[in-house]
Every structure is written in C-alpha cells, then in structure tokens.
Amino acid sequence: MIYEIVILAMIAAFLGMRLYSVLGRRAEHEEEIVPTNRFDAPDETKPQPSAPQGQGDPLVGERPMPGFPPAIERGLREISAADRSFDLIGFIEGAKGAYEVVLESFWEGDKAELRSLCDDDVYESFVSVIDEREAAGITLNNKLIRIEDVTVHSAELHGSMARITLRFVSDIASVTRDKDGNVIAGSLDDAVESRDVWTFSRDTRSHDPQWLLDETDAG
C-alpha cells in the first residue's frame, strides 16, 4: 500500500510539472503586480467565454488610454484601427470568461470545449497533459476561487493578425485524486495564487469575432 502511494505521488508530481509548462506558475508569496485593470471580485454576470470581444465604444483615434506604456498603447490603437468594433474593456471581460472556461475544461478533460477556444498548438499541449493524466488514473477536483488582477502585458498587430497578452492573477483551490478517488495532493480549503500569462489572437479580416488562446506562459 505504501509503495502504491509513493508511485501515485511521483505521477502527480510529474503531471504537476507538465501542468506548469502549459498553464504557468503558482506561488503563495510573490511580489505584488500593479495591474492596469483590477477586478476585486468575480463578475456575477459571467461573459460568454468563446468571444473575448466587446460591444462598447472602440478605443480608436485620439481617445486617451492612460496607464499604458507607449508600445502597448500603439499596439492597441493599431488593433482598433484594423477592427473598428474592438473595445478593450469588453475584450478583457470576455478574456476573463475564457480563462475560467479553459481552466475548467482542462481540469475536467473536456477536449471539445478546449478545441473551440484554443489554437492548434495550445490545444495539443492541453490534450497531451489530459491524456497523461487519464492514463495514470488521476483526476483533478479544482476550483477557480477568484480572478484578482488582469494586466495588459502586450498588444501588437502583425499584418491582419491581432495579438493581445494578458497577465492573470487568480486564486485556485486544487485537489488531485487517484483512480480510487483518494486524495493524493492538495485541498479545496487551501487556495493557491496562480499567475498566468495568456495570449489571445484574432485575424482582423475575419468575420468571426472570436479570439483564440494561442500561447500560455508563467506570470
């Protein structure tokens, strides 16, 4: 019995490292990030996750965007010029919804939902970890407690392809169970801070308003 527990713990540690490479870094005590946009509590009216695209007034022309470094402001203005319907606040709200759904889909092993929200490379990375987890008989019982901060990390337009990178700071409670349902790591009573840097992209020439997750990194 002890031998089996040790083996399961080793498998859980391995999958934890794979998860790190896909979703980013978690830490309980790290230096505070000063956010461009702060969210003190989860949005009670959950946005549609499949489209981090707003419907408000576009950030175009000479409208000021205080708090952004010049490179980010330039990128946002280029995106706004290429896509007149683009609205930064709406985009961030939609991206928060996408962040929640992608995490939940990954934890639950919902490949179909991930397929609709991620580009090919990110989707394949998620599926690889899910397959390894399932092969080991391990399940995740995780919960996103709250998204605390969202910061615009970068924004750029290459040709017609818009890419916006956001840094998410969130609290996540996680539990790892073996094939028999026994807890081998974590606790739902102990949330851990997670910092993830996710990049969303969209072809501004497309009639499809949906943005796709095309890169994940540590925060």
List the structure tokens of 210.
Answer: 């949906």
Mean pLDDT of 24-49: 37
Q: Range of 109's domain?
A: 2-218
Any idea which residue has 């397929």 for tokens?
115
Q: What pTM did the predictor assign?
A: 0.74
Tally helices (H) and strands (E) across the chain: 5, 7
- pLDDT exceeds 80 at position 165: yes
- pLDDT exceeds 80 at position 44: no
Per-chain mean pLDDT for the chain: 79
Mean pLDDT of 155-167: 98
* pLDDT for the residue numbered 63: 52
Q: For residues 19 and 118, which has the higher predicted lDDT (pLDDT)?
A: 118
* pLDDT for the residue numbered 218: 80
* pLDDT for the residue numbered 65: 58
- pLDDT exceeds 60 at position 167: yes
Residue 12: give its domain's CATH number: 3.10.450.240
List the structure tokens of 138.
Answer: 């391990």
> Tens digits of per-residue pLDDT, 58-114?
444 445 455 799 999 999 999 999 999 999 999 999 999 999 999 999 999 999 999
Phi-psi region of 181 (alpha: psi -120 to 50; beta: other; left: phi over 0): left
Confidence band for 160, pLDDT divided at 50, 70 and 90:
very high
List the structure tokens of 152.
Answer: 């615009």
CA 80 to chain centre: 23
Total domain count for the chain? Answer: 1
Q: Give the DSSP H/E element, type plus range, for residue 215.
A: strand 212-218
- pLDDT exceeds 60 at position 29: no
Q: For residues 155 and 9, which has the higher predicted lDDT (pLDDT)?
A: 155
